[in-house]
Amino acid sequence: MTKKAQANTTQANSAITSYDFDAIIIGTGPGGEGAAMNLAKRNKKVAIIERYHNVGGGCTHWGTIPSKALRQSVSQLIDYNSNPLFNAGQNAKQLTFQDILSHASAVIRKQVNLRSGFYHRNEVEHFYGEASFVNANTLQVLRIDGSIDTITAKQIVIATGSRPYRPDNIDFTHSRVYDSDSILSLEHSPRHIIIYGAGVIGSEYASIFRGLGVKVDLINTRDRLLSFLDDEMSDSLSYHLWNNGVVIRHGEQFERVETSDDAVIVHLASGKKMRADCLLFANGRTGNTADLKLENAGLVADGRGQLKVNEYYQTDVDSIFAVGDVIGYPSLASAAFDQGRICASAMLDGTGKNRLTVDIPTGIYTIPEISSVGKTEQELTAAKVPYEVGRAQFKHLARAQISNNLVGSLKILFHRDSKEILGIHCFGENAAEIIHIGQAIMQQTNGGNTIEYFVETTFNYPTMAEAFRVAALNGLNRLF
């Protein structure tokens, strides 16, 4: 937009003395919900725009909630088949992908009802349809029936999330080709699936399908799985997937995908060919900004459809903010909700006092889970921080033996001199829950964040939380 056009837009906006709403939120995922609830509870007149027929965004309908619900069902199936108390002398119980989808659908319905109640109780007005900018304070909403609503607001929050990246040379309309959204519409029961992309989504679905007894080929475009993790956690996941029969191919790129009525063949740049019943393409995501007509508001998204924001989640246009996947890292539902909440505070007082926590925990819902908070060993080594390691193997814990969850470990990284906890990494069942005990101690100030806390406190026995005491003792014993 030229300076003259921007000036005209500014004049047009300043001519508006009153708005329909104090704030309009585009998108009802975690980021949009966090912003809308905080603003509504501060007596602001708020509207939400959702293009889907129910609130919740991609997190509820296609991403976090359904995939974790699927994972839970498969994990319980694995527990049942591996426990001789329940399955002695019987054939292993079999479930199909369609069987476990019913559980995911029930969870989605409950989440939608819960979140719809939040908006109604706080008198947030709903608009269902496709949103697009007219100018920096005006939006059009194209409803399904073709009618158009034009609404204005003093401030607007873009919380439209992201969608799976789809290369142009792959036919995603074919019945054997899926992405991480469309896989939920899988109608046949594959015996063999190729998953292209070994990031968080690809690794999680590799666990899900392998747990159902499906043959899985996992194609990784990098040289190791989830390279942002501590190397030990990454290696543990690689070994566990390999031990369960997942074939992992590292450092590969697809060249083309060949489809037929009953199969799909992936041709790799290395010359390899792989054949399976279907393909799940899970390599990258793109911000949902293409249909917003951002140029009318004076905004430009980058090549990945993402928007640039400042520390208050404000875009280059003062009246427009953005949160969640549409701004990129960390692209976590948990962080998006906090971003929305913090963004709303900044919208209210002009300067946000709160900040997103530095040590954001990551939860990866493979089977078993992985969760981390703080620094990795490779980061500390590169920074030349003198650290030590304390470890606890789950197989040595009474609670793990009772529940038959013997696979996994907890690792605590701490400073050799101050004993400050620098990072915590967990691999095993309920890792995403266990990690929060350590996270709480890491946030303590005035000398409260030390590994000695875990030795000096008393844990319930038997519990998985006891792993912190075992790991702390192990680490302190390494000091000299």
Is residue 84 within 8 A of residue 6, CB to CB? The reply is no
Give the number of residues written for the chain: 480
Residue 247 marked in a binding site: no
Binding residue per annotation — 53? Answer: yes
Beta bridge partners of 248: 218
In the CATH hierarchy, which fold is given to the domain comprising 177-283? FAD/NAD(P)-binding domain (3.50.50)
8 Å CB contact between 22 and 155: yes
343 annotated as belonging to a binding site for a ligand? no
H/E element holding 39? Answer: helix 30-41
Q: How far apart are CA 463 and CA 461, in angstroms?
A: 5
Q: Is 41 annotated as a binding residue?
A: no
118, amino acid identity = F
Tokens of 314: 């404000």
For domain 368-476, the CATH superfamily is: FAD/NAD-linked reductase, C-terminal dimerisation domain (3.30.390.30)
DSSP letter assigned to residue 314: B
| 425: β partners | 372, 411
Q: Residue 130 annotated as binding? A: no
pLDDT per position in the chain (480 positions), as tens? 444 445 444 444 444 569 999 999 999 999 999 999 999 999 999 999 999 999 999 999 999 999 999 999 999 999 888 887 777 666 778 889 999 998 899 999 999 999 999 999 999 999 999 999 999 999 999 999 999 999 999 999 999 999 999 999 999 999 999 999 999 999 889 999 999 999 999 999 999 999 999 999 999 999 999 999 999 999 999 999 999 999 999 999 999 999 999 999 999 999 999 999 999 999 999 999 999 999 999 999 999 999 999 999 999 999 999 999 999 999 999 999 999 999 999 999 876 677 788 889 999 999 999 999 999 999 999 999 999 999 999 999 999 999 989 999 999 999 999 999 999 999 999 999 999 999 999 999 888 899 999 999 999 999 999 999 999 999 999 998
Q: Is 162 annotated as belonging to a binding site? A: yes
Q: Could you give the CA distance from residue 308 to residue 330 in angstroms, rounded to a whole number?
A: 14
The answer to whether 208 is a known ligand-binding residue is: no
Spatial neighbors of 130 by CB under 8 A, at least 6 apart, are: 51, 141, 142, 291
Domain 3-164+286-349 -> CATH class: alpha beta
Structural domain spans, the chain: 3-164+286-349, 177-283, 368-476
135 is in an annotated binding site: no
Assign 3-state DSSP to the chain and report helix, strand, coil percentages, each to 5.
35, 25, 40
Q: Check for a shared fold between 3-164+286-349 and 368-476.
A: no
* Residue 284 in marked binding region: yes
Q: Give the integer Cα–Cα distance in Å for 124 and 206.
A: 39
Residue 202 counted as an annotated binding residue? yes
